[in-house]
Chain A
Amino acid sequence: MADQNNIAVDIRNVTKMYGAFSALEKVNLDIRDNEFFTLLGPSGCGKTTLLRTIAGFEDITQGEIVLYGQNIANLLPNERPVNTVFQQYALFPHMNVTQNVMFGLLRLGQDKTSAKFRVAEVLELVQLTKFADRMPNQLSGGQQQRVALARALAPSPKVLLLDEPLSALDLKLRQAVRLELQQIQHQTGITFVFVTHDQEEALTMSDRIAVIKGGQVQQVGSAQEVYEAPKNKFVADFIGETNLLDVRVTDLHDGKGSCILPGGVQITCPAADGAHPGPGHLSVRPERIAITSPNEGLVQGKVKRHIYLGTDMHVEVTLMDSETVTVRMQNSSQIQIPEAGQTIGLEFEADAARLLVD
């Protein structure tokens, strides 16, 4: 490969079995150097297992994990130049902040003087200089999370693994830490592999996202790619909200497909790889649909109810074939919300819809 030097972690055909259950099934991933890479999926999908195989806490049944050209699959965790930020932080409770952060440096054989210098540097980076002498149980959750980050960054790992590090924080704090993490990744230039089940977290932070389900990678791509061009029904549904209309696909060519909407209108829109003629799913995001007068637009339906969401209004519309479609409208003083029971038409650009496979 031409960009071989560019790959930080190359996961090749990795399979992990627990008895007869396969937690990971032939996973292939290229994680690039200096990239914020996110493993995203529902709980139990294998994303944490994958992270732990990179860290070395889980053996793999099959495959290779190549870190900057070196197969590390058979190395012990302490022999791998990667560090982990654990979900529960796992700060050593009997050591203060400095001792915690210094732990890895000393194990690598650094002398105390230079280790101290590095600790000060990293604590500065996470803005915890004032707390250097505190014990972990004297810190708030957010501060503990920063110590965990500092401790993992101190030995300058080639890759930093983060196992849902924000899940224990409250919403406001989580949003602040997101930006901070991204900043630290840019500042340090270390490759981040971030595990989360929170699609919003994944979309806002990542350079690229791997969507995982059932131990298999569903799609890898930038936030925009996975959101706007999902490969299958699962990805479309898991990332953001979407409407999935039952359609009949009639024709496929050059990445486009023609399909017949409920109500009989035919459109041509982008199609995912693997789409085939016959019954199919058409994904349309709620914010891409507009409400028009009856008998206009692509499909017809009846307003079922509306849900007020602050900035937005969700209008649920029942189509003639009794499917429900959600339309998202931004709230403003000019907004005209159709009454429940009213017959309306729905319109969307063909390019905003996408034919998907199961």
Chain B
Amino acid sequence: MASKKVDLRRFPGFLPLTYLCLFLLYAPLVIVMIYSFNDSASITRWDSLSLRWYHDVFFGVEAPKFRAATINSITIALMAATSATIVAIMAATAMLRSGRFRGKSASFALINLPLMVPEIVTAVATLIFFSAIGFTAGYLTIVLAHIVFCIPFAYLPIAARMQGIEDVYEQAAQDLYATRFQAFRLVLLPLMTPGILSGFLLAFIISLDDFIITNFVKGAGIETLPTAIYGAVRQGIKPNIMAISTLLLVVSVVFVALSYFVGRMGEKNNDETSTKGDLI
């Protein structure tokens, strides 16, 4: 447990403030989720419990549009997450396993900077970049943009995992006649698997959820799920949007939770290996 030096509960008003923050953060989400099960066509007046709008999402008038957007979103997220994960593995290997090299801390900053840059700036810059080199906005531009901004998200769990793996394992592999690449492939990579999966899942969900950058770089006629929802909302909010948002929310929560738990997988076992008792 944490040390007892500062007990937050003793601060006056701490508890009400906590509840206020939680309420402001989650009440809108909860309301959307509740109203997605509303039978009424109104978005504010509660009628009765029903799955009508979920049915509408899958089989209603707008269903083909959302289906196409979902397929785009998922294929783009798969490609972006896969590519970003590969780049992130290489970046982490260079940062954590190549000893010291010039520009190391600069590289670290450069990899993680996109997390700090306002997304709108990245979006505008990416758009300008694509038009400058003469790329037509379309499916491909979305994929490329997503790969780039997913890299830091994939990098963080992967690097965290790699940092936790002592390099003595690779030394042991090399000592047992493995080349550096064999040591990487047969020892480091398997030990990194949870981190890699975690990074991939995180990158996947970041890509799936992205709106701002996608909206800037997508071509006419191509929609991802977030831009399709945005487009639909502009013509007035219908309850089917609440259903679709709820679905997206559930997918996001599942993926983020998976990413977290997968990332921690095996860590406990490793600890036990090094501290287990000495009974023979």
A interface list, Cβ under 8 A from B: 55-57, 76-78, 82-84, 86, 88, 90-94, 103-104, 107-108, 136-137, 139-144, 151-152, 155, 168-170, 173
Across the interface, A104 reaches (CB within 8 A) one of B176, B179, B272, namely B176
Q: Are B172 and A84 in contact (CB under 8 A)?
A: yes
Across the interface, B280 reaches (CB within 8 A) one of A57, A136, A173, namely A173
Q: Are B168 and A137 in contact (CB under 8 A)?
A: no
Chain A residue, CB-CB nearest to B279: A140
Across the interface, B171 reaches (CB within 8 A) one of A77, A108, A151, A169, namely A77
**Bound-complex Cα distance A80 to B186 (A):** 20
- Size of the chain B interface, CB-CB below 8 angstroms: 29
B interface list, Cβ under 8 A from A: 166, 168-169, 171-180, 182, 186-187, 190-191, 266, 269-270, 272-274, 276-280
Across the interface, A77 reaches (CB within 8 A) one of B174, B270, B277, namely B174
Across the interface, A142 reaches (CB within 8 A) one of B166, B171, B272, B280, namely B280
B191 surroundings in chain A (CB, below 8 A)? 93-94
Q: How far is the CB of A198 from chain B (nearest CB, A)?
A: 16
**Bound-complex Cα distance A257 to B214 (A):** 90
Residue contacts A-B, CB under 8 angstroms, 8 given: A55-B175, A78-B180, A88-B166, A92-B173, A137-B272, A141-B279, A151-B176, A173-B280
Known: A107-B182, A140-B278. A91 touches B273 (CB 8 A): yes
Q: Are A78 and B190 in contact (CB under 8 A)?
A: no
Q: Which 6 interchain pairs have the tightest Cβ spacing?
A: A104-B176, A142-B280, A107-B177, A141-B278, A90-B172, A77-B174
Q: How far is the CB of B273 from chain A (nearest CB, A)?
A: 4
**Bound-complex Cα distance A170 to B279 (A):** 9
Output the residue of B173, B174, B178 with the most chain A CB within 10 A. Answer: B174
Q: Are A140 and B178 in contact (CB under 8 A)?
A: no
A144 surroundings in chain B (CB, below 8 A)? 273, 276
Chain A residue, CB-CB nearest to B193: A94
Q: Are B276 and A137 in contact (CB under 8 A)?
A: yes
Across the interface, B175 reaches (CB within 8 A) one of A83, A88, A93, namely A83
**Bound-complex Cα distance A108 to B178 (A):** 8
A139 surroundings in chain B (CB, below 8 A)? 276
Across the interface, A78 reaches (CB within 8 A) one of B174, B266, B279, B280, namely B174
**Bound-complex Cα distance A90 to B168 (A):** 6
Q: Are A103 and B270 in contact (CB under 8 A)?
A: no
**Bound-complex Cα distance A240 to B187 (A):** 42
Known: A90-B171, A136-B273. A103 touches B178 (CB 8 A): yes
Q: How far is the CB of A169 from chain B (nearest CB, A)?
A: 5
A152 surroundings in chain B (CB, below 8 A)? 175-176
B175 surroundings in chain A (CB, below 8 A)? 55-57, 77-78, 82-84, 152
Across the interface, B177 reaches (CB within 8 A) one of A57, A155, A168, A170, namely A155
A84 surroundings in chain B (CB, below 8 A)? 171-172, 175
Chain A residue, CB-CB nearest to B269: A137
Known: A137-B273, A142-B278. A88 touches B177 (CB 8 A): no
A173 surroundings in chain B (CB, below 8 A)? 278, 280
Across the interface, B176 reaches (CB within 8 A) one of A88, A94, A155, A168, namely A155
B279 surroundings in chain A (CB, below 8 A)? 140-142
Q: How far is the CB of A292 from chain B (nearest CB, A)?
A: 46
Q: How far is the CB of A294 from chain B (nearest CB, A)?
A: 50
A169 surroundings in chain B (CB, below 8 A)? 278
**Bound-complex Cα distance A94 to B280 (A):** 21
Q: Are A143 and B178 in contact (CB under 8 A)?
A: no
A168 surroundings in chain B (CB, below 8 A)? 278
Output the residue of B173, B176, B191 with the most chain A CB within 10 A. Answer: B176
**Bound-complex Cα distance A142 to B175 (A):** 22
Chain A residue, CB-CB nearest to B177: A107
Given A86-B172, A88-B168, output 18 extra A-B contacts at Cβ < 8 Å: A56-B174, A76-B174, A77-B175, A78-B177, A78-B178, A82-B175, A86-B168, A90-B171, A91-B273, A93-B269, A103-B176, A104-B177, A137-B272, A140-B277, A141-B276, A169-B278, A173-B278, A173-B280
Q: How far is the CB of B236 from chain A (nearest CB, A)?
A: 55
A107 surroundings in chain B (CB, below 8 A)? 176-178, 182
**Bound-complex Cα distance A270 to B168 (A):** 47
Known: A86-B172, A103-B173. A78 touches B179 (CB 8 A): yes
Chain B residue, CB-CB nearest to A92: B187
Q: How far is the CB of A136 from chain B (nearest CB, A)?
A: 5
**Bound-complex Cα distance A92 to B276 (A):** 16
Chain A residue, CB-CB nearest to B172: A90
**Bound-complex Cα distance A136 to B186 (A):** 16
Chain B residue, CB-CB nearest to A169: B278
Q: Are B168 and A140 in contact (CB under 8 A)?
A: no
**Bound-complex Cα distance A143 to B273 (A):** 11
**Bound-complex Cα distance A93 to B194 (A):** 14
